[in-house]
């Protein structure tokens, strides 16, 4: 089970936070990459996205451990991108 989180967001209230406390000491490049992926992932939740269990490369794939974050991509897959674009369009941005 989980004993920590990398970030948290709500779809309803549209807020997101991340923590870099558990990102390890693998150097500044890894810290920046993990931070970016986590921030994009959590913002995705505020855009109405859920975890993408089907696409291992999608940034919305759930990360239980650092290896999961390192393995996934930094961008939304086509489906998640369409949902996010629809949400942003509805919000008038």
Residue numbers annotated as active site: 42
Rounded-to-5 percentages of helix, strand, coil across the chain: 40, 10, 50
Neighbours of 26 (CB within 10 A): 12
Mapping DSSP to helix (H, G, I), strand (E, B) and coil, where does residue 46 land?
helix
Sign of the dihedral defined by the CA atoms of residues 59, 43, 50, 6, in that order: positive
């Amino acid at each position: 089970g989980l004993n920590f989180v990398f970030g948290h967001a709500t779809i309803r209230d549209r807020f997101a936070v991340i923590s870099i406390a558990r990102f390890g000491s693998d150097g500044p490049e890894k810290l920046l990459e993990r931070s970016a992926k986590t921030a994009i992932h959590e913002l995705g939740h505020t855009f109405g996205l859920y975890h993408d269990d089907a696409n291992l490369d999608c940034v919305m794939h759930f990360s239980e451990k650092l290896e999961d974050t390192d393995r996934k991509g930094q961008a939304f897959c086509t489906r998640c991108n369409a949902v996010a674009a629809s949400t942003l369009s509805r919000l008038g941005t």
